[in-house]
């Protein structure tokens, strides 16, 4: 039987460590601070950001939730970011994406001080990560490494295949795996004979944003699968394709009219040695690593 890698339990352990670090900093008169900027009224983003703010409160971090109207301009947002860069009690700046179409997202992310870039999106942090220098790494890729390490899955010397080349997940995940001495292959939608490459993976990271894209035939027996995808399914035909015969999922689908599936077809997990479920796998690590990055930024800014 493949082992389920419990992201929620690992995230809880990391949050406990963050709380202990925050308490130690508080004894020195330092309270790490996170500013979360949420533009407009997007229900899913509101829930997600408020959970981050609640995590700050739970772990002893300071947080400031800033909610500009959807009509805000790029220039006004740049001025807001400049103010946050200048505030000494703010160690981390989080700009919740997506932003309204009229706002220049790239300009805003580039305007965040690299020292406060707790999402790890700034080109300076991307360059430091590539060079193997101290940097704030993107939260989801950093969480992937934590899942592997804390689950006792070897990385050094293993062949890791990352399917997906986004700046937010695919590329930094590949770089972090490389720094852990894995041999890394990056694949994407244009890769020829993708299945032949994924079948060589000891560690397979699926981050391509397509529901059930990785099938059982594409997985090496005994591989560790890290499924980063979160895709909402609302059509009956899609549900039957992935979850036919799953009574528990069936009941939830009938009640809500939707369910979640990752970038890996659930039938592929039977081939694996270990895997992260969706939900409950990589997702919980993202907030935990954001909290960890905020404390790390507070320490780095003060030379601790």
Tell me, yes or no, if 52 is annotated catalytic: yes
CB neighbours of 83 closer than 8 A, spacing ≥ 6? none
Give CA–CA dist 147/116, Å, rounded: 25
Which pair of tokens denotes residue 12? 């809880």
The span from the first CA to the last CA of the chain, in angstroms, equals 45
Q: Which is catalytic among the residues 52, 116, 171, 220?
A: 52
Would residue 104 show up in a list of annotated catalytic residues for this protein? Answer: no
Q: Which tokens belong to 34?
A: 């996170």
Among residues 119, 202, 227, 265, which one is catalytic?
119
Report d(CA 48, CA 3) in Å as an integer: 28
CA 194 to the chain's CA centroid: 24
Helix (H/G/I), strand (E/B), else coil: 200: coil
Concerning whether 83 is annotated as a catalytic residue, the answer is no
Alpha-carbon distances, residue 220 vs 39, 158, 242 (angstroms) = 43, 13, 20
Q: Which of 15, 91, 96, 116 is catalytic?
A: 96
Helix ranges (H only) for 89-162 are 105-111, 123-131, 139-150
Question: Whole-angstrom Cα distance, residue 172 to residue 185?
Answer: 13
Enumerate residues 6+ apart whose C-beta is below 8 A from 292: 14, 17, 18, 142
* DSSP 8-state class, residue 264: B
Determine contact, residues 228/193, Cβ cutoff 8 Å.
no
Catalytically active residues, by annotation: 52, 96, 119
């Amino acid at each position: 039987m493949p082992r389920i890698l419990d992201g929620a339990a690992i995230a809880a352990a990391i949050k406990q460590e963050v709380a202990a670090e925050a308490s130690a900093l508080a004894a020195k008169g330092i309270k790490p601070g996170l500013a979360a900027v949420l533009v407009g009224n997007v229900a899913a983003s509101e829930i997600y950001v408020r959970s981050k703010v609640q995590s700050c409160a739970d772990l002893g971090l300071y947080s400031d939730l800033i909610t500009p109207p959807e009509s805000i301009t790029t220039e006004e947002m740049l001025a807001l970011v400049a103010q946050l860069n200048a505030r000494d009690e703010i160690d981390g700046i989080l700009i919740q994406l997506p932003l309204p179409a009229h706002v220049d997202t790239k300009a805003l992310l580039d305007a965040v001080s690299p020292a406060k870039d707790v999402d790890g999106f700034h080109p300076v942090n991307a360059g430091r990560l590539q060079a193997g220098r101290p940097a704030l790494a993107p939260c989801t890729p950093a969480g992937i490494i934590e899942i592997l390490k804390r689950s006792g899955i070897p990385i050094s010397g293993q062949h890791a295949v990352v399917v997906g080349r986004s700046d937010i997940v695919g590329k930094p995940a590949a770089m972090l795996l490389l720094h852990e001495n894995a041999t890394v292959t990056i694949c994407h939608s244009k890769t020829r004979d993708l299945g032949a490459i994924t079948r060589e993976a000891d560690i397979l990271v699926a981050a391509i944003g397509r529901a059930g894209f990785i099938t059982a035939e594409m997985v090496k027996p005994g591989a560790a699968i890290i499924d980063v995808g979160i895709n909402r399914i609302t059509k009956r035909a899609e549900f039957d394709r992935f979850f036919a015969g799953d009574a528990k999922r069936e009941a939830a689908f009938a009640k809500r009219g939707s369910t979640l599936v990752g970038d890996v077809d659930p039938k592929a997990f039977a081939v694996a040695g270990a895997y992260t479920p969706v939900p409950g796998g990589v997702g919980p690590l993202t907030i935990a690593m954001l909290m960890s990055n905020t404390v790390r930024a507070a320490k780095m800014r003060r030379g601790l």
